[in-house]
Amino acid sequence: MTTLGHFIDGRPILNGQHSQAVFNPATGTSEKQVLLATKATVEDAILAAQQAYPEWRNTPPIKRARIMYKFKTLLEENADKICRLIGEEHGKIAHDAMGELQRGIENVEYACGVPELLKGEHSKNVGPNIDSWSEFQPLGVVAGITPFNFPVMVPLWMFPMAIATGNTFVLKPSERDPSSTLFIAELLHQAGLPKGVLNVVNGGKEAVDTLLHDQRVKAVSFVGSTPIAEYIYQTATANGKRCQALGGAKNHAIVMPDADMESTVNQLLGAAFGSSGERCMALSVVVAVGDEAADKLVSGLSQAMQPLKVGTYSDNQNDFGPVITKQHQEKVIGYINSAEQDGAHVVVDGRQVKVEGYEDGYFVGATLIDRVSKEMQSYQEEIFGPVLQVLRVASMEEAMTLINEHEYGNGTCIFTRDGEAARYFSDHIEVGMVGINVPLPVPVAYHSFGGWKRSLFGDLHAYGPDSVRFYTKRKTITQRWPSAGVREGVSFSMPTMK
């Protein structure tokens, strides 16, 4: 059995009193175990980052950027291995894993522009012979806590920009699929990153709490469920840290009567079932306006779902793979059971799906549930599986009220040919990321990602321009060099330009 550990001060570390099995969700078997970091191990990682910070902080941004350029090349050269590691431990189909990696690489590309992104502002002669300018300086040691569903992409949302802006980093990835994260940390050091600048520790709550309470850690970025996001945010800020904590989602798509139904159906398939629905931007609810539109939509979806293939990561003919654990498989099936018991109609049932040769895998087939109501548990909570629910409403206003009243506000979209309706929707919907005939409105790397309401705790979104601000602090400097021989009187008033 392969044992995985940590990556501290530029080298792999096998250290931990306890271990946890790492499963292949397609087979239900474990050939790896990961050591869980103790408080002392996490403190070693923080110390390594703290010791590396002074020299790294003073490294010119262009030199930091050159390391990121080399890192990007190494990610591309090792793409097949990275995607295989994702598939073996997460279950994501190879083509989907490649898409995850590419989205991560785009964030590295954005970080390569850090010399431009760190430019401050300058004003000459704000007063007689007085100049003023701003600088964006790094925070110090910062940390990231990332989820299982994107073991490569989400870490790449965080540490490339944090490091490029001059910080040192401690990453705590999910212990369910740690191999790809550890491997990309090694690639970054192959690219020339000094030891101690990036450290990776695997662990559970003890590791997380150590990062949240240690005063050497100046900021924490998190992606995961809303209850944990709220805990992370409250604990980090109570300990004086800057924090952004991205939580859960319940993403709705409004389908208007004038929508191109064939195109809508095709787009909903990928948005709902890609990556087994284990995306915080997965479309899990369709709100159909009018019974006629709903009937057409349900009929189209049920037919289009028949050929969908669920299976193992290595076969690119498969559309999606298993869910992450046996426990999560049971949880997803429990939500389907709950909806049915509450009176909803299971149109396409994925509860009994079996994959030949992989009977012990954690598979759930694509599931379509019609006539769901907002009172149902399956609607109120995040399922995080390949389940698409349909609610029927009489008007666009009713659909928007449904979305605006939900506790989550991560992503949403509308399918329509009506520009006026689309404009009204985008102006008045209380959601952070909005699509117009785009089912997964995930911002590109040079914009920022984040939801509203209980989908985000903190003021700044992930990656893009907000990440530069999150990982730096502004310093404004006002300077004057008096002319020789000039004497000025004492002033006790606030300086102005009056």
Active site residues: 280
Q: Residue-wise over 242-264: b if at least 16 C-beta within 10 A, else e? A: bbbbbbbbbbbbbbbbebebeeb
Amino acid letter, 336 = I
Backbone angles phi, psi at 384, to 5 degrees: 60, 50
* Burial (0-12, 13-18, 19+ Cβ within 10 Å), 165: buried
Backbone angles phi, psi at 238, to 5 degrees: -65, -25
Q: How far is CA 336 from the centre of its chain?
A: 26
* Longest Cα–Cα distance in the chain: 91
Q: How far apart are the C-alpha atoms of 199 and 210, rounded to whole Å? A: 14
Backbone angles phi, psi at 317, to 5 degrees: -75, -15
Q: How far apart are the C-alpha atoms of 79 and 76, rounded to whole Å? A: 5
Q: Are strands 29-36 and 122-127 parallel, antiparallel or unpaired?
A: unpaired
Q: How far apart are the C-alpha atoms of 186 and 171, rounded to whole Å? A: 13
Q: Residue-wise over 352-378: b if at least 16 C-beta within 10 A, else e? A: ebebeebeebbbbbbbbbbbbeeebeb
Q: How far apart are the C-alpha atoms of 400 and 282, rounded to whole Å? A: 18
